[in-house]
Amino acid sequence: MKVLRKPLAEFSETDKSEIDIFIEQHGGLVFHEFYFNKIASDVFNTSCFYFIAYIGNEIVGICPVHIIRKGVLKLLLSSLSSNEIPYGGWIFNRNYTSIKSLLHSTKLHLNESLTYWSTIQANSNDYEMPGTAKSLRFNTIIFPLTNSIDDSFNITLKKKQRNKIRRAQKLGIVVEEIPYKDIELFINLSYELKEKIGLPVGLPEFYRKVMEVYYKENKIVCLAAKYSGQYISSMILIANKNYTIAWVAGRKVELPNNLYQNELLLWESIVWAKKFGSRCFDLCGLDELKLPQLARIKLSFSREIVPFYYITKKTFFFRIINKVQNVFFV
């Protein structure tokens, strides 16, 4: 097996299509796709390439990578997690290779480090097998979409959860789509929520460009709960056939606790994901310590907690130069 680097600028239209088909066939996410990474690279001013693993002429694995320069050093990131891209890492054909082999074959230049975030490990946990690089575990929650909508509501959801959703509807809350042309409505709600809970504010241009590209393909939607003529809670969903991701959210902060608008919004998001045709709905992270209220809402929909992983890899030369730069250039 050989692993090559291919910059985005060298991709033909055929290459782009081949990569995206491979991603969908082997459990990857929209975050792995060519155009998503092209948008992220343009907005956040990174260089971007793919590690591509081959056996002969056949692709057996792909991993998008963004480069941020730090003096003479290069920081390689498998996802821009600080800019609301939670997952990344290798997507691969399990018939031909493994994550252990791919990580071993992911070679760095002397002046490089790799900050690696994996994809969702729902079906098999590749990162805790013997001999795999040391990693930190993080969790997310998934809601399988194998059942019908009626069975998901009446059987999968607990009675208490169903009552909350019905309560929101009785109070007159409705969930509507915010079209791309009105994306500023979402951005305002996103700012309000993040300032309240102390999270970094996302870059509006990133939301706009992702919405613009994926809206044309019907792979993205912005849903919002509306109460008394006003949008009070919102969420952008981004999807392929493997996962619909509850990607980014926004909400008014001074709301009564018994409206249950978030429960209704999440349920309508699940309905959208089922209609789209995804296999699973990902609630995008679980942090019971820093965001306990949000964690409780997520866990009320599903107890299927699955991991994703964080790994760092640095060359000896990188460590030395980094220390020198920190002493003399900071």
The answer on pLDDT for 330 being more than 60 is no
The answer on pLDDT for 93 being more than 70 is yes
Structural domains of the chain, with CATH: 2-139+308-328 (3.40.630.30), 147-278 (3.40.630.30)
Q: What is the mean pLDDT of the chain?
A: 93
Provide the pLDDT confidence category of residue 125 given band limits of 50, 70 and 90. confident
Of 281 and 193, which is predicted with more confidence? 281
Provide the pLDDT for residue 328: 66
Rounded Cα gap, residues 295 and 157, in angstroms? 16
Rounded Cα gap, residues 276 and 270, in angstroms? 10
4-52: pLDDT as tens digits: 999 999 999 999 999 999 999 999 999 999 999 999 999 999 999 999 9
CB-based contacts of 167: which residues, under 8 Å, 6+ apart?
A: 258, 260
CA angle in degrees (0–180, nearest 5) for 215-278-34:
50
What's the mean pLDDT in 159-185? Answer: 95
Answer positive or negative: Cα dihedral of 160, 166, 167, 168.
positive
**b/e 141-153 (16+ beta carbons within 10 angstroms → b):** bbbebeeeeeebb
What's the mean pLDDT in 159-180? Answer: 96
The answer on pLDDT for 152 being more than 70 is yes
What's the mean pLDDT in 50-66? Answer: 97
Provide the pLDDT confidence category of residue 200 given band limits of 50, 70 and 90. low
Residue 107 near residue 7 (C-beta atoms within 8 A): no
Provide the pLDDT confidence category of residue 203 given band limits of 50, 70 and 90. confident
Residue 152 near residue 275 (C-beta atoms within 8 A): no
Of 51 and 328, which is predicted with more confidence? 51
219-254: pLDDT as tens digits: 999 999 999 999 999 999 999 999 999 999 999 988
DSSP 55-109: ETTEEEEEEEEEEEEETTEEEEESS-GGGT------EE-TTT--HHHHHHH----
Provide the pLDDT confidence category of residue 199 given band limits of 50, 70 and 90. low
Share of the chain above pLDDT 70, in %: 97
Provide the pLDDT for residue 71: 87
Of 179 and 324, which is predicted with more confidence? 179
Q: Output the CA torsion 311→316→321→326 (10° steps).
A: 50
